[in-house]
């Protein structure tokens, strides 16, 4: 056998071994528009501001303001194959991830979307928030601003030292051989 024939045979055998995709969209995810957490729960929880705050860790007004600032950055384009996810749903998924620290797989099951899609959504929304909010949240620092910050932190450090220096007493306990701090 020739070397070229061996390469072709190896290529064809690897091509056969690749796993075929089982579904274009998994059957569980097909019912996202009727049974997903965003459609079933989020629309209802918006009516209760205290529950909404617990769910997203921000008020309804803050949520709407943030959504308006990043809407154009995270808005998708509908195609003939499928409709894109709304910017509101993308923001809710990201806020749930940031607020609760739950896994992307858990969000995937709750919102009925693929876990790689959840990952892409979180990245896209976080980048949009950074790009749109960076100037207002983190102004450019110059020498004057740095000196002002240093002066403020120095004053805070002195105040905290004065306030706490006489109220705490550290001593070594003979029973446990550990240092203990007690309030006087």
pTM over 0.75? The answer is no
In a domain, 31, yes or no: yes
Mean residue pLDDT of the chain comes to 78
**Confidence (pLDDT) at 184:** 44
Q: How far apart are CA 126 and CA 108, in angstroms?
A: 18
Mind listing the pLDDT tens digit for each residue in 35-94? 676 777 888 889 999 999 998 999 999 999 999 999 999 988 878 877 788 899 999 999
pLDDT band, very low/low/confident/very high, at 8 (cuts 50, 70, 90): confident
In a domain, 159, yes or no: no
Q: Quote the Cα angle for 39-45-48, to 5°.
A: 160
In a domain, 105, yes or no: yes
pLDDT band, very low/low/confident/very high, at 161 (cuts 50, 70, 90): low
pLDDT band, very low/low/confident/very high, at 142 (cuts 50, 70, 90): confident
In a domain, 76, yes or no: yes
Structure token digits, residue 151: 């002066």
What is the number of domains present in the chain?
1
Say whether pLDDT at 123 is over 90.
yes
Mind listing the pLDDT tens digit for each residue in 67-80? 999 999 998 887 88
In a domain, 81, yes or no: yes
In a domain, 62, yes or no: yes
Q: How far apart are CA 13 and CA 165, in angstroms?
A: 75
In a domain, 1, yes or no: no
In a domain, 18, yes or no: no
**Confidence (pLDDT) at 150:** 79
- List the one residue out of 64, 128, 55, 60 whose CA is nearest residue 93: 55
In whole angstroms, how far apart are CA 120 and each of 92, 117, 126?
A: 14, 5, 10
pLDDT band, very low/low/confident/very high, at 182 (cuts 50, 70, 90): very low
Supply the range of the domain harboring residue 121: 23-137
Q: How far apart are CA 137 and CA 63, in angstroms?
A: 16
Q: How many residues does the chain have?
A: 184
Mind listing the pLDDT tens digit for each residue in 19-28? 566 666 665 6
Show Cβ contacts of residue 104 under 8 Å, excluding neighbours closer than 6 positions.
97, 115, 118, 119, 122
């Amino acid at each position: 056998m020739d070397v070229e024939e061996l390469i072709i045979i190896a290529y064809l055998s690897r091509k056969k071994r690749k796993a075929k995709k089982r579904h274009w969209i998994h059957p569980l995810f097909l019912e996202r528009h009727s049974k997903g957490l965003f459609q079933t729960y989020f629309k209802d929880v918006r009516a209760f501001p205290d529950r909404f705050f617990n769910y997203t860790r921000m008020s309804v007004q803050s949520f709407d303001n943030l959504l308006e600032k990043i809407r154009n950055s995270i808005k998708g384009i509908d195609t003939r194959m499928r409709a894109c996810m709304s910017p509101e749903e993308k923001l809710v998924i990201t806020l749930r991830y940031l607020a609760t620290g739950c896994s992307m797989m858990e969000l995937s099951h709750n919102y009925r979307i693929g876990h790689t899609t959840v990952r892409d959504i979180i990245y896209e929304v976080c980048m949009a928030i950074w790009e749109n909010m960076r100037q207002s949240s983190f102004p450019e620092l110059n020498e004057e601003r740095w000196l002002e910050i240093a002066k403020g932190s120095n004053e805070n450090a002195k105040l905290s030292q004065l306030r706490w220096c006489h109220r705490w007493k550290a001593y070594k306990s003979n029973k446990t051989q550990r240092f203990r701090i007690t309030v006087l």
